[in-house]
Amino acid sequence: MSVQLGDTAPDFTQESTEGAIHFHDWIGDGWAVLFSHPKDFTPVCTTELGTVARLKPEFDKRNTKVIGLSVDPLKDHEGWARDIAETQGTALNFPLIADADRKVSELYGMIHPNADNTFTVRSVFIVGPDKKVKLTLSYPASTGRNFQELLRVIDSLQLTAKYKVATPADWQDGDDVIITPAVSNEEAKTLFAEKGFTEIKPYLRTTPQPNK
């Protein structure tokens, strides 16, 4: 069974570069991004971890913790972390799970045997404060992920958790948003009284981003 949107993120305890991680306790009452990469000491993975380390202040701003994972042992993670510091202009500043026994990888379906029987693919799980899975992504080993896109999704998730809105295609923070269909025009007049809304079609209504 794969982990699907709306599921409670499977809880686990596993070793990491920052000691044992008890996943739900570690998340606390904020948000989390759990992402797997195929293998230590590989080029695309090295750039990904450097990128996430550089973006850490952006995740912090969003009350979101990040945690990486591969099926390599802790000793390899520690050696590789030195290479990341040397080559990426930043030290690793978030934990890397050492999932050598595949406990977490199997729990989350991060190994896709028809792609590679040995290593995890590039999976991403965004987990909310309620410990529910809000996003899943699977990228192939050969394609490094766009972590700006993950920040954009977190912005959208946090906005839609608070207001009765959704975000349109290619939305960026500050753009107009969409009023969800469950909201009547009468309710919309009250909810979005300050900024108003535009009815393009009865099912397509936009309003300026409420928290801007």
Q: Which residues are catalytic?
A: 45
Spell out, one character per residue from 143 to 182, where the chain touches ligand BEZ: x when CB under 6 A holds, - when not: ----------------------------------------
Each residue 6-25 as x (binds ligand BEZ by CB under 6 A) or -, in order, gives --------------------
Q: Does the footprint of ligand BEZ cover residue 142 (CB under 6 A)?
A: yes
d(CA 158, CA 171): 14
Judged by beta carbon, residue 53 or residue 178, the one nearer ligand BEZ is 53
Q: Give the integer Cα–Cα distance in Å for 177 and 186.
A: 18
**Total residues at the site for ligand BEZ (CB under 6 A)?**
8
| 128 interacts with ligand BEZ by CB under 6 A | no
Does position 45 bind ligand BEZ by CB under 6 A? yes
Which letter, b or e, does each residue of 36-70 get, where b requires 16 or more Cβ atoms within 10 Å of its Cβ?
bbbbbeeebbbebbbbbbebbebbeebebbbbbbb
Interior angle at CA 120, CA 118 and CA 123, nearest 5: 160
**Smallest separation (angstroms) from ligand BEZ to the CB of 65:** 23
76 is a contact residue toward ligand BEZ (CB under 6 A): no
Check binding of 44 to ligand BEZ (CB under 6 A): yes
What's the closest the beta carbon of residue 108 comes to ligand BEZ, in angstroms? Answer: 18
Q: How far is CA 80 from CA 13, 37, 47, 62, 122, in A?
A: 22, 13, 12, 28, 18
Of these, 24, 26, 42, 166, which contacts ligand BEZ (CB under 6 A)?
42
Given the structure tokens 């700006």, which residue do they identify?
Answer: 148
Residues contacting residue 205 through CB under 8 Å, at least 6 positions apart: 178, 179, 185, 188, 197, 198, 199
Q: Which residues bind ligand BEZ (CB under 6 A)?
A: 38-39, 42-45, 141-142
